[in-house]
Amino acid sequence: MPVDYNERIPNNVALTENPRLQRALESWRPNYLRWWNDQGPEGAQDFDVYLRTAISVESDGWAHFGYVKMPDYRWGIFLAPPQAERTISFGDHLGEPAWQEVPGEYRSSLRRLIVTQGDTEPASVEQQRQLGSTCPSLYDLRNLFQINVEEGRHLWAMVYLLHAYFGRDGREEAEMMLERHSGDQDKPRILGAFNEKTPHWLAYFMFTYFTDRDGKYQLASLAESSFDPLARTCQFMLTEEAHHMFVGETGIMRIVQRTCELMNELKTDAPERIRTAGAIDLPTLQRFINFHYSVSIDLFGQERSTNAANYFTTGLKGRYRETRISDDHRLVDTTWPVYVPKDDVIVCEEQPALLAINERLRDDYITDSQRGLDRWNKTIQQHGIDYRLTLPHRGFYRQIGAFAAVCVSPEGDIVSKEVWADHVSDWLPTESDHEFVTALMQPVTAPGAMATWIAQPPRGINGQPTDFPYVRFLSN
């Protein structure tokens, strides 16, 4: 299924054969471009950016790299190839043919899931729009812009589904995607984490490590959907998501490396001395991990969720790698261990597995998140430094679910409000942490040069050297 790049909207869904849909999407396009210009990367619309563009949905179709001005990026509609005679792999409709149209009775639930997913994509672009002016290197700047255009494309992916399968209310939802804005008082984005600020590059690397990873797990669950167009769309989005998490993981890794090098050079572990030398001390990194992790695990919803149970039984949203799980795929009579606060302690209770779908996905996410920490810790260890970065307890600083009602320390003890207040500045980034990090963020734009607080990447992009001009400004 080749992608036709002569089309105004590149796609592999035979858009020209459906002129009504094509017209609808073409009339949404100028509104999207207006949004991109108003809310997308600030001051960067004229830069030439060395971007990757999908040229086909096959696994080798990612080959095209070249300089593009971001507003000219070929945002398009790409679905993974259909699987012949795909059947439903979970829930009440197990074994039936996957749906090519939306069943009337599930229309509003499905629309809600697609809208929630779609809303996060432009939200993240809005959150990151000011980062360009303080980039630590051209390599990092290019990666930021690559992620931004792909999140824009993810919005296109969801808007396509809304336009193609949900008629008039789908078109209305598509308009609303451009009207809600991250952090807006009156029309905020739907989910909590997408209304937080991403004020500097440390927050950005944490966001791409932790919050884009929620994207991976949510998309993987939706990739199991009985609604085949949604499943195929999400399968292709996942190939883009891998790069976003790579940027987060390697970004934090390079910060850790730089900090460790300085600690050894200066023979100190005093945060103040590391900061004076222009790097980010490990305890500050830990506080940012605590924040971004807890905000991101909130995105999985309540521990016990009838919404999630209904999505599962009706076949709208499966579990992570549903088809590789060996059980009945209906979850009758099975349980799942769920941590909840009870009086003064945290207990693990067996809950009906169907109600614990969100928690199970959160468990998968937690295991995956730990992998990066293990790699960062290995680097710390290789520098002979006795310090370990850790994930806080899942109950720490939660706003959603059973833990929202209690204060939990990073170690997982329920503590009083007083103890929380005494320790919160050790546990979460403080105003002054933010001020320090913000002050560190001086733009570095000479090819190959790096900010003081981050190590060189081990290699460049698409086989290019690390001192390649990944972004060319107007004056160049």
Partners of 341 in the beta sheet? 346
For the bound state, the minimum distance from the C-beta of residue 336 to Fe ion, rounded and expressed in Å, comes to 27
- What crossing angle do the helices spanning 306-313 and 107-127 adopt, rounded to 10°? 120
**Cβ contact 456:475 at 8 Å:** no
Cβ-count burial 45-84 (b if 16+ within 10 Å, e if not): eebbbbbbbbbbbeeebbeeeeebebeebbbbbbbbeeee
Interface with ligand BYC, residue 224, by CB under 6 A? no
Candidate list 212, 214, 228, 298; residue touching Fe ion; CB under 5 A: 212
Integer Cα distance of 378 and 387 in angstroms: 10
The two three-digit tokens of residue 133, written as one number: 């002016």
One-letter amino acid identity for 314?
T
**Cβ contact 365:211 at 8 Å:** no
Interface with ligand BYC, residue 233, by CB under 6 A? no
**Cβ contact 5:74 at 8 Å:** yes
Residue closer to ligand BYC, measured from CB, 198 or 286? 198
What does R_g of the chain's alpha carbons equal in angstroms? 23
Identify which range of 114-122, 227-235, 267-275, 430-438 contacts Fe ion by CB under 5 A: 114-122
3-state helix, strand, coil in the chain (%, to 5): 50, 10, 40
Please give the helix or strand (H or E) that residue 234 lies within, else none: helix 228-266
Candidate list 154, 189, 319, 394; residue touching Fe ion; CB under 5 A: 154
Identify which range of 1-9, 117-125, 247-255, 461-469 contacts ligand BYC by CB under 6 A: 117-125
The two three-digit tokens of residue 128, written as one number: 């990151």
Interface with ligand BYC, residue 308, by CB under 6 A? yes
The two three-digit tokens of residue 258, written as one number: 């730089």
Candidate list 74, 200, 244, 317; residue touching Fe ion; CB under 5 A: 244
Interface with Fe ion, residue 41, by CB under 5 A? no
* Helix, coil or strand: residue 389: coil
Interface with ligand BYC, residue 211, by CB under 6 A? yes
Out of ligand BYC, Fe ion, none, what residue 228 binds, judged by CB under 5 to 8 A for its kind, is none
Interface with ligand BYC, residue 144, by CB under 6 A? no
Interface with ligand BYC, residue 126, by CB under 6 A? no
Residue closer to ligand BYC, measured from CB, 24 or 206? 206
Q: Which residue is nearest to ligand BYC (CB)?
A: 301
For the bound state, the minimum distance from the C-beta of residue 207 to ligand BYC, rounded and expressed in Å, comes to 7
Interface with ligand BYC, residue 215, by CB under 6 A? yes
Binding mask 334-373 vs ligand BYC (x if CB under 6 A, - otherwise)? ------------------------x---------------
Residue closer to ligand BYC, measured from CB, 120 or 409? 120
Interface with Fe ion, residue 129, by CB under 5 A? no
**Cβ contact 338:347 at 8 Å:** no
Residues of this chain that interact with ligand BYC (CB under 6 A) are 113, 116-117, 120-121, 124, 151, 191-192, 211-212, 214-215, 218, 298-302, 305, 307-308, 317, 358, 400
Residues of this chain that interact with Fe ion (CB under 5 A) are 121, 151, 154, 212, 215, 241, 244
